Structure 1
Amino acid sequence: MAESNMYRLAMRLAGSTDPWQILRRTDGGPGITTNLTNPNEVDPDGQDSSMLLTSIDVGGDVSIAFSAITYDMIIRNVMGTDWLVDGSDSTLSTIIIGRNTPKLEFLVTYQDVGAAGKSYVIKDANISQMQLSISAGDILTGSFSIVGEGYEADYDASGDTFTDETATKPLNCAQDINQLTLQGEALIDVCVNTMDVTINRNYQGDPCVGELVANQFKGTATVSGNISLALTEATFGLLQQSINEEEFTVTLDMTDGADGNQYLFEMFRCKLGVEMPSGGRDAVLRPAVSYTALKDSVEGTSIKISRTLPA
């Protein structure tokens, strides 16, 4: 009987012969799903007499506890450009939204099935969406969604090599969030309960006659999220500011403690949607704020991610 601890997910650039990078995860993984269609022919006995394979879905969702370095290639793919090293600081690199996305491939192995395990590969894959979720008193969690255009259903991984999982620690929302800011005309200093940020590349499947797996086309990059914060005099003003269509800068700065690996998410032009709270007895009242990041003409992107990885 197979068990989840013996499920291994690994990744590398599509078409590469490099070692597979074993990925850390908390749940989920990309799969191969066969879809059968009944031709609905009339049967003299009044029974179904045929089912045909008409399409195959390739991909799936992976849940994670976010840690430094581990998901840099995932971020690179969903952002659509390369990490660029700051010329004056070799430890600092940044990445913005683009359209040049080197495809990936993912290897799934059930290590306790059979004597040597059984594997399949998701080929020509991209990350359609990535989300990070910050919650008070919890670990910084996230997820990413994989869409593929090919597969190998029975892959022999016996001759392949593997790079071990990264050893960086999962980020802690209580101790590793340096700063979370919401700033319009003035910086709002407030207690934030939860926040999330989602980068969605809006891939669209395009099935073709004669092919089982649909092609995937990248759409508009949308960056959005939600913030739950305490109701104060400052945050009460967010309702009128939303009505006035004012723009805000949203930033998230985090470091994994003594290791010093730092990630900074910056969204320079955000429009807010605000839902004012109601509550029952002894309830903490929190406005629900949604935000959408727009392209900034100076930065050329709706979101910029900076990372500092000390040597």
Structure 2
Amino acid sequence: MQDSGSTIRIAYREDGSDGPWNIFRRTDGGPTITPSTEGAGEQLGQREETDEVLLSAEVGGTINFNFSAQTFDDFIAAACANDWDATTGQVVAGGLLDKAFEVLVSYQRIGKHVLMSGMRVSVLGLTVEAGARITGSIDFVGTGYEGTYDPSGDTFNDPTTTPVMTAAVNGGDVLIDGELLDGTCVSQYSISLDNSYSSQWCIGRVTAGRQVIGDLNATGTIEFAFTADGFDLWQHTLTRVPITTDFSMSDGTTTYRIETAKTFLNGELPTPSGSDPVTATLDAQYRKSIEAGYSVRFTRTQGGAQTQARIASIESAQSPSEDEVTAA
């Protein structure tokens, strides 16, 4: 009997908890244990070493996913090093909370389970691309593992059943400085929160003794049609005048709004060959605005009025008007 990727279950809960596990909805990837070994370094006059030693074992890895509501809220908060505000529904990046999880990898067909502990969200990435699912990734770094964990006494919550979101159906317009750029079209928008964790290795431990949070590096990309409005947006790479961005996505039940308060753009003047449409792909550096109090802010609300209204307006625009019907 042998497992395949479709039978491996990954679950998580708060580090140190004995509560139920939450099932991770993922597309691929997963945390792993990477041993570092080398020869014992002894010369016995036989031209070959006879032993090898274990130096360390790195715990961590990347999980990729399709975004769905109420599924990844814990990891958004961990990447922000903050808690969701129960009153405003907001969480801002750059906090001081060092959130950690336990992650359980279960090879269900062979009945083997590996527990990883002290798992921090080193990097969280989200990508919204035209004509595609809204996707994300989580890079974990950890401090411990148990290679033969027994989950027989544990309980597991059912995975969330909220639908996977797509850019076309669930994504709103990307607003620049609070306005829709009517003359251009944004085709990709991404954000990455890198907490710059560093491993501290300690005598007497195979795994890292601590994972130390560092500077927040909030970055992303914005890709858009290089129209006259697009050219004006590209000019920000030279003037160094920051912009703000504002994007919302919703499944009709839960809406997530992502705002950046002080975004600096970088990128070359596009010069494609042939008859390819001219587009610009700019790197974005999301800096903290002292006035606004954040660099990146997430707001989670119940209901999807904004996106649903946008979908209705699109459907209305695609339907023939009364005059057009009469004329026909």
Same fold, judged at TM 0.5 (above): yes
Mapped to 2, the partners of 1:296 and 1:239 lie a distance apart of 21
1:31-90 Cα deviation digits (max 9, x unpaired): 11221121322232211211101100101000000000000111111111111122xxxx
For 1:227 and 1:171, the matched residues in 2 are separated by 19
SS at match of 1:151: strand
Q: What residue in structure 1 maps to residue 101 of structure 2? A: 104
C-alpha RMSD over aligned residues: 1.6
Q: Is the 8 A contact 2:236 2:264 kept in 1?
A: no
Determine which of 86, 89, 97 is the counterpart of 1:93: 89
Tell whether the 8 Å contact from 1:238 to 1:274 is kept in structure 2 after alignment: no
Could you say which structure has the larger radius of gyration?
2
The offset of 1:241, in angstroms, is: 2.4
Residues 1:291 and 2:284 aligned together: yes
Q: Which moved more, 1:196-205 or 1:43-52?
A: 43-52
Cα distance in 2 for partners of 1:289, 1:134 equals: 15
Contact 2:173 2:180 in 1 (8 A): no
Asked if the contact 1:103/1:126 (under 8 Å) is kept, the reply is: yes
> What's the CA shift for 1:129?
0.5
Quote the Cα distance in structure 1 between the aligned partners of 2:289 and 2:273.
41
- The answer as to whether partners of 1:273 and 1:289 remain within 8 angstroms in 2 is yes
Instruction: Give the match for residue 31 of structure 1.
Output: 32
Which protein has the bigger helix share?
2
The equivalent residue for 2:49 is: 48
Which residue of 2 is the match for residue 249 of structure 1?
244
SS of the residue 1:178 aligns to? coil
Question: CA deviation digits over 1:180-211, x for unaligned, max 9?
Answer: 12228x75332112221101101011212222
Match of 2:222 among 227, 238, 249: 227
1:1-311 matches, cutoff 5 A: 1-86=2-87, 93-97=89-93, 98-113=95-110, 117-183=111-177, 188-189=181-182, 190-214=184-208, 215-256=210-251, 259-310=252-303
Deviation, structure 1 residue 106: 0.5
- How far apart, CA to CA, are the structure 1 residues paired with 2:180 and 2:5? 45
CA distance in 2, matches of 1:201, 1:102: 12
Structure 1, 100-109 or 236-245: larger mean CA deviation: 236-245
- Distance in 2, matches of 1:158 and 1:37, equals 36
State the identity as a percent.
31
Q: Letter of the aligned partner of 1:172 in structure 2? A: T
Task: Please identify which structure carries the higher strand content.
Answer: 1
1:221 and 1:213 mapped to 2: Cα distance? 24
Cα-to-partner distance string for 1:94-120 (whole Å, 9 max, x where unaligned) = 10121113311101100001xxx1101
What TM-score does the superposition give when structure 1 sets the normalisation length? 0.92
Distance in 1 (CA, whole Å) between partners of 2:168 and 2:180 is 21
